[in-house]
Structure 1
Amino acid sequence: MRAIIFTLGFGAAATLSACGDTTGEQVIFGAGAGAAGSALLHGNLVTGAAVGAAANLIYCKENPRKC
């Protein structure tokens, strides 16, 4: 059951994190997706937001056509 929740949370975070036209938007959307995924998995919200923001920013800088 935990694997299903993790998979759903990761999928939701991945879907939400591919948004944002500016650096600020990318950080905010990534932080929101990370915090939401962390809340779904009963984790630390601040850590989830930080990881989500960093991951989305890196992803969008490495793949600008997909953002």
Structure 2
Amino acid sequence: MRNVAITLAVASTLGLSACSGLGDRDQKMLSGAAIGAGVGVVGTAVTGGCISCGALIGGVVGTGAGYILHENEERRK
């Protein structure tokens, strides 16, 4: 569980610091990736799965969710 806490701390720090200077779409996609990776890590750690696989899958799903969220907001404008 200690490795999970360290991984989450590093990922969230990198994810938040990388958002400066990006466009709205890119920020949403990067934030989605960071949140998805964090959820994937926690989920696989709790269930006893492969933590890196959970982070990868969660990051991909989160990136897609951030993109869809941005596109939906653009259509509403």
Which band: TM-score by shorter chain? Answer: 0.5 to 0.7
* TM-score, normalisation: structure 1: 0.57
The answer to whether the 8 Å contact 2:30/2:66 transfers is no
Structure 1 runs not aligned, ≥5 long: 1-20
Alignment match, 1:25: 31
CA shift, 1:24, in A, is 2.5
Identity among equivalent pairs (%): 24
Q: Which runs of 5+ in 2 are unaligned?
A: 1-23
Question: Shift of residue 29 of structure 1?
Answer: 1.3
Verify: 1:56 aligned to 2:62, yes or no. Answer: yes
The structural deviation recorded for 1:28 is 1.3
1:42 corresponds to which residue? Answer: 48
Structure 1 runs, 4 residues or longer, greater than 4 Å off? none
Question: C-alpha distance in 2, partners of 1:31/1:57?
Answer: 9
- Higher Cα Rg, which structure: 2
